[in-house]
Structure 1
Amino acid sequence: MYRDTFMPSKKPASRQAWTLLCALALSGCASSRTQVEDVREQPSEVAPRTSELPPDPLNAQRFAAQYPNPNECERQARRYLPLSRDDAWTALKACVDGTPFTSLQALMSGTWSQELRSRPGAAALIAKVVAQRGGSVEGDLRLLNEQRLPIFSLAAAMAQPDTYKGRFILVRAQVGDVRIAEEKPTVWLVEQGLGSVGTEQQVGIASRRDARSTTAGNLTGETTLVGGNVNGSLSKDKTTRDSKTVLRYDNISSDTGREALGRLPKADPFLSPGRDFVILARFDGMRTTSGALDEDDEGPRVPVLSIVSYYIPHPLVVY
């Protein structure tokens, strides 16, 4: 009897032990599986943080190649501003130098105001953008002056020389003459205004129809000299041409009547006469020339500019 009651009592205990061991084993497996899953999830959390920013802007060529679209390039350069304004400026210059950047409005939006007013090369960067937009200096200067950026026109400098002396001047001009005196070359600049002229251009294939008709017979009439009949014939030619045309506009530069004397630090063979350039210069004041008709009169006064940089304007104009 004792044996029968004792043996059954051990079976539940063994079941409890096995149950406890299985629970511990399962909890161990669950914890190890959780750790493996955590390790696998860590790289996916870190990867987006490292890929949020575009390539290193210090490599300007690589940065511009990564974003050939100028608007996208400027947007990516803007993302560096909270981290490093130097890197952001380097990236923006890469956009202007490496892409067909023409969005002057993006520069005037206020995001780059601090850089455009404080960076040494800001004026040259703006001049290049104006040239890439087609060189409509008069129109683009209005946008710059609305944002209080200190770049002015040649007409304003000539009207108030003392006010604008030492300030940046942006002018579209042709080189008329190049002279070298005491190893310091000077160029004669003729300011050019930009306008558009409309012309009709044919579209498609034109058709032409030629017709000829002849009428013969007697013409009766009287003359004051001799009497009698007048005989003759009458012929008629007719040509019809059908074509379709559209009105197109071409940009044409014209002389404004203003001229200036430009100073160069050294001779530059690429600043060739007869071509239009967008020129950034500092206004040095007015100079009296020796072209007076009377000995008692002074010669005409011309503005003197120290050329900082120049760019060839694009043939198409962005408005």
Structure 2
Amino acid sequence: MSVFQKLTKVAGRSGAALLCAVAVVGCGSSRHTHTTVDEESPRQLLAEERPARQARVEPGPVPSRPEEKAFGARYATPAQCEVAARRLLATSRDEAWAALKSCVERTHFTLLNALLSDAWAEELRVRPDAAQVIAQVVAWRGGSVEGELQLLHARKVPIFGLSAAVAQPEMYKGRYLLLRAQVADVRSEDDKPTVWLVEQGMGSVAREQSVGYATRKDSVRVHSGAVGGNVGLLGPSNLGGQISTSEQEVSSSTVQRFDNITDDTGREALGRLQKPDPFFAPGKDFVVLARFDGLRVTSSGEEDDEDAPKLPVLTIVGYYTPHPLVVY
């Protein structure tokens, strides 16, 4: 074989090798979409290993949202709860308000001054349930409504007393009223109960209460003797006898205590409920939040008689049982 023929044969083999190489690349590309486990790329291995690594990480507890009622239960005192709720105002005012409501519901929240502070002033102005939150705090503080209204009015909170509404019914019609009242009677008409409310004033009576140990000392003294001598016409005689005296001494330490008492103010009202409520029962005192609907002539009077007796009519928004201890 000549040298030329040898070169031609080698060139032919190189061209075939080149075509085979191109074909291999093309076949390799088509195989990549159907790879077996042994032919997996490093990127695929990393993607499959990542979930395994994440599974080994212990997930932390999911924090509860402030609007949950359990928010208030996480704090030992109402002051701590209110501070925590106030901090949320910077991030979400809705969550902060929900947290404050949880504080009021789950703790003995008597911090009316904190609620009326500048931090919550905007919420008290725009929140539709702000009046109910205030009424609940007033009940926690013992239900001394007359004194609490003075604090509310100092902060320009538009909640008023029954006496003001009766004196100027046109001015206060449609406004919120707050009163301490006893349920005297409940009557239902068309499944909408009407409640007869008797307003109660809050007062106190002083008394002395013993503290510590009391000491008591009893003593008896006996004096005896005899006298002898001449007693005139009777001649000689002896006289004898005894005299006893007793002493008693008692000492104790006392402090002055005050007991809360309620008394009728002389004002009554008719309250309307949306539906019967077995817990709003006669004979019990409640702090009542209501909307003033005006005055209505009683059954003993005539509509056209200006001097006819009238009763205020209220739409009851909420009621709360007052705490037996009053916060001054």
Is TM more than 0.5 here?
A: yes
The percentage of aligned residue pairs carrying the same residue is: 58
Separation of aligned partners in 2, 1:61 and 1:284: 33
Separation of aligned partners in 2, 1:290 and 1:238: 68
1:63-78 to structure 2, matched below 5 A, reads: 63-78=71-86
Task: Give CA deviations for 1:140-174 in whole Å, capped at 9, x if unaligned.
Answer: 11111111111111111111100111110000011
Are the equivalent residues in 2 in contact too, given 1:104–1:129 (CA < 8 A)?
Answer: yes
- The match for 2:300 among 291, 303, 318 is 291
Residue 203 of structure 1 is matched in structure 2 by 211
Residue 68 of structure 2 is matched in structure 1 by 60
- The match for 2:95 among 87, 90, 95 is 87
Residue 114 of structure 2 is matched in structure 1 by 106
Residue 319 of structure 2 is matched in structure 1 by 310
Separation of aligned partners in 1, 2:257 and 2:195: 35
Larger radius of gyration: 2
Are the equivalent residues in 2 in contact too, given 1:288–1:298 (CA < 8 A)?
Answer: no
TM-score calculated relative to the size of structure 2: 0.70
Are the equivalent residues in 2 in contact too, given 1:290–1:298 (CA < 8 A)?
Answer: no
Residue 257 of structure 2 is matched in structure 1 by 248
Separation of aligned partners in 2, 1:175 and 1:55: 43
CA RMSD, 1 decimal: 2.6
Residue 52 of structure 2 is matched in structure 1 by none
Residue 310 of structure 2 is matched in structure 1 by 301
Gaps of 5+ in 1: 1-53, 218-231
- The match for 1:180 among 171, 185, 188 is 188
Are the equivalent residues in 2 in contact too, given 1:263–1:307 (CA < 8 A)?
Answer: yes
Are the equivalent residues in 2 in contact too, given 1:55–1:63 (CA < 8 A)?
Answer: no
- The match for 1:143 among 147, 151, 156 is 151
Residue 257 of structure 1 is matched in structure 2 by 266
Residue 164 of structure 2 is matched in structure 1 by 156
SS in 2 for 1:79: helix
SS in 2 for 1:189: strand
Separation of aligned partners in 2, 1:215 and 1:289: 79
Are the equivalent residues in 1 in contact too, given 2:66–2:96 (CA < 8 A)?
Answer: no
